[in-house]
Amino acid sequence: MNCPYCQSPESKVVDSRTVARDSSIRRRRECLDCQRRFTTYEYIVKHPLLVVKKNGQRVEYERQRIERSIRIACNKRPVSADQILDAAAQVHKQIEDRGHVEITSAQIGDLVMETLKNLDKVAYIRFASVYHEFQDLGEFQSEIEQLRE
């Protein structure tokens, strides 16, 4: 594990604890060169998973991308960091529970949208506008009307 500050490969684990929301371990590390501390997470990969993109390209699944997408959608909203991590873990669990080797980016997007719909309506609309590539105000209004129903 390279230090994110000085890139040194030498660090020691200061503290380890399991994270209740999913099967992961949170580790606090200290760089042996610059003495700065940083946090890492260790996840169990049950099976390798490939994401099939719109253009047919296959890329390795990265759970951090889901968390980052949810975090961006929830920016400046009353959603806590724990809620974002829980939402990302929920989507990740749904993906893993499918038990397939491949999943389409559209399926992942649908799972994220469903999770955001229950978490924060504004974040849901933000994500939907990018995910569905809204081109005009009418598409926003249509999505908002569906949300109201």
Distances (CA, A) of 92 to 32, 36, 43, 96: 33, 31, 11, 6
User: pLDDT tens digit string along 34-70?
Assistant: 999 999 888 776 667 899 998 999 999 988 899 999 9
Block residue for tokens 């929920």? 90
pTM: 0.67
